[in-house]
């Protein structure tokens, strides 16, 4: 069986997820490829997965004809369904939702998608994100729905020992846009620095996806909070290199801080957990399946910076709890996000549709 995964651009979590599942599904006889409509920095991560990057109809038509895809899984872009039909594709179409940001945006986008889904889609897919699952049930009662966690290869992407940093590090990964909530990270880091004078802040981002006015505000806030000397910004780090950074952050005594207002299935959280880097995250429903408070990580209520600072201090100074979280997080990855479980669920969906 041949499957095509479609998204706008190869970057961030979608680039990682698509590469992981293409390789995992190949072990089960499913030949999977990726189509992106625009170039993205994630192309540097390609490790043998067939990837096409084009937004030209004739090129897409040739790809569809040559690939003989039984199923196309489109992430987010429901408007591409009629395009594929017009280009001659007659196979099955699945709409996958990995996240829309704010819940009101999710409702607006999925409401707009209703006529497209009922006209073209054979199934809906999401990584067990509760608010998306609820919207699926409300808006698409007649469409088959599949909800199971994203996969993660914890054997390949894992803890890599190296020199221990001299200062504790807290890190943030994302785009310079409102839902990723970089402002909250800067305030948390600023307040933590009063208790940890040698604290360092690391930011990992793809500047190609940042929103210009958000970046302007970001630069301004760094100056206002006096964070220039603490802050290191790294752009478009190759995915395979990130395991070394996560491991160093964990060994420094620090943690990954996920401040997103709403998340679908953030792979950065799973990557950090696999590398023994503790995670402090907002209690958005997409994170909840991975982070169990004080067991596999720490949660705080979005907007409650004081709570985030207290939980962060606990991670920095409570060594027994910290080590317990690091160990439990790795174990949870091996069960809930196991590639075999994902492939079995995905293949079950393929055969049912």
- Averaged pLDDT for residues 182-210: 95
**Would the pLDDT of 218 be above 80?**
yes
Q: Specify the pairing of strand 298-300 against strand 200-205.
A: unpaired
Indicate if 312 and 186 belong to the same structural domain. yes
Q: Which domain holds residue 203?
A: 169-336
**pLDDT tier at 264 (50, 70, 90 boundaries)?**
confident
Token reading at 152: 């993660």
pLDDT of residue 113: 98
**pLDDT tier at 61 (50, 70, 90 boundaries)?**
very high
Does residue 287 contact residue 269 with C-beta atoms inside 8 Å? yes
pLDDT of residue 207: 86
| Cα(349)–Cα(73) distance, integer angstroms | 11
Indicate if 239 and 308 belong to the same structural domain. yes
**Would the pLDDT of 182 be above 90?**
yes
129 closest CA partner among 97, 161, 84: 97
- Averaged pLDDT for residues 74-80: 97
217 closest CA partner among 254, 252, 177, 257: 177
Token reading at 72: 């196309």
Indicate if 228 and 273 belong to the same structural domain. yes
CA 220 vs. chain centroid, Å, equals 27
Residue 288 domain-assigned (yes or no): yes
Indicate if 98 and 36 belong to the same structural domain. yes
DSSP state letters, 224-261: HHT-TTTEEEEES--HHHHHHHHHHHHHTT-EEEE--S
Does residue 53 contact residue 38 with C-beta atoms inside 8 Å? yes
Classify each residue of 72-81 as buried b or exposed e, where b means 16 or more C-beta atoms within 10 Å of its C-beta.
bbbbbbbebb
Does residue 128 contact residue 100 with C-beta atoms inside 8 Å? no
Residue 126 domain-assigned (yes or no): yes
Indicate if 117 and 215 belong to the same structural domain. no
Sort 123 into a burial class: Cβ within 10 Å, 0-12 / 13-18 / 19+: buried
**Would the pLDDT of 100 be above 90?**
no
Residue 159 domain-assigned (yes or no): no
**Would the pLDDT of 46 be above 80?**
no
Does residue 140 contact residue 117 with C-beta atoms inside 8 Å? yes
Using alpha carbons, list the distances in angstroms from residue 16 to 13, 42, 163.
5, 8, 26
Residue 160 domain-assigned (yes or no): no
Query: At which residue do the structure tokens 């293949």 appear?
Result: 347
Indicate if 190 and 318 belong to the same structural domain. yes
Structurally, the chain folds into a number of domains equal to 2
| Cα(263)–Cα(179) distance, integer angstroms | 9
C-beta neighbour count of 5 within 10 angstroms: 26
Percent of the chain topping pLDDT 70: 100
Indicate if 104 and 120 belong to the same structural domain. yes
Return the beta strands (E) in 112-216 as ranges.
Answer: 123-126, 145-147, 169-174, 200-205
Indicate if 130 and 222 belong to the same structural domain. no
CA 34 vs. chain centroid, Å, equals 17
C-beta neighbour count of 220 within 10 angstroms: 10
Residue 156 domain-assigned (yes or no): no
Indicate if 8 and 95 belong to the same structural domain. yes
**Would the pLDDT of 130 be above 80?**
yes
Residue 163 domain-assigned (yes or no): no
Indicate if 179 and 123 belong to the same structural domain. no
**pLDDT tier at 90 (50, 70, 90 boundaries)?**
very high
316 closest CA partner among 157, 169, 209: 169
Q: What is the CATH number of the domain that holds 202?
A: 3.40.50.2000
Indicate if 90 and 121 belong to the same structural domain. yes
Query: At which residue do the structure tokens 């987010």 appear?
Result: 76
Residue 80 domain-assigned (yes or no): yes
């Amino acid at each position: 069986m041949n499957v095509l995964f479609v998204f706008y651009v190869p970057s961030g979590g979608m680039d990682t997820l698509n590469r992981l599942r293409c390789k995992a599904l190949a072990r089960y006889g499913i030949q999977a490829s990726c189509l992106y409509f625009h170039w993205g920095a994630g192309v540097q991560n390609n490790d043998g997965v067939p990837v096409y990057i084009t937004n030209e109809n004739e090129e897409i038509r040739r790809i569809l004809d040559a690939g003989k895809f039984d199923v196309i899984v489109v992430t987010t872009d429901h408007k591409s369904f009629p395009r594929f039909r017009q280009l001659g594709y007659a196979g099955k179409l699945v709409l996958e939702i990995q996240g829309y940001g704010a819940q009101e945006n999710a409702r607006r986008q999925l409401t707009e998608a209703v006529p497209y889904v009922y006209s073209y889609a054979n199934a809906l897919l999401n990584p067990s994100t509760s608010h998306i699952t609820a919207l699926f049930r409300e808006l698409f009662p007649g469409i088959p729905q599949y909800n199971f966690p994203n996969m993660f290869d914890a054997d390949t992407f894992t803890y890599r020992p190296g020199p221990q940093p001299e200062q504790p590090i807290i890190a943030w990964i994302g785009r310079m846009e409102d839902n990723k909530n970089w402002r909250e990270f800067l305030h948390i880091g600023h307040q933590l620095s009063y208790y940890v004078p040698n604290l360092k802040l690391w930011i990992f981002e793809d500047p190609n996806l940042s929103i210009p006015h958000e970046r302007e505000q970001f630069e301004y806030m760094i100056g206002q909070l006096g964070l220039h000397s603490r802050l290191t910004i790294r752009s478009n780090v190759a995915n395979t290199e990130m395991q070394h950074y996560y491991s160093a952050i964990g060994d420094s005594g620090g943690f990954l801080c996920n401040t997103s207002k709403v998340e679908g299935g953030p792979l950065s959280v799973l990557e950090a957990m696999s590398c023994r880097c503790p995670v402090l995250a907002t209690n958005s429903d997409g994170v909840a399946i991975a982070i169990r408070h004080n067991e596999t990580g720490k949660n705080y209520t979005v907007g409650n910076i004081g709570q985030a600072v207290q939980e962060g201090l606990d991670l920095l100074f409570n060594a027994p709890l910290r080590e317990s979280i690091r160990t439990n997080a790795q174990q949870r990855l091996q069960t809930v996000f196991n590639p075999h479980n994902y492939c079995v669920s995905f293949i079950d969906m393929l055969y049912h549709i």
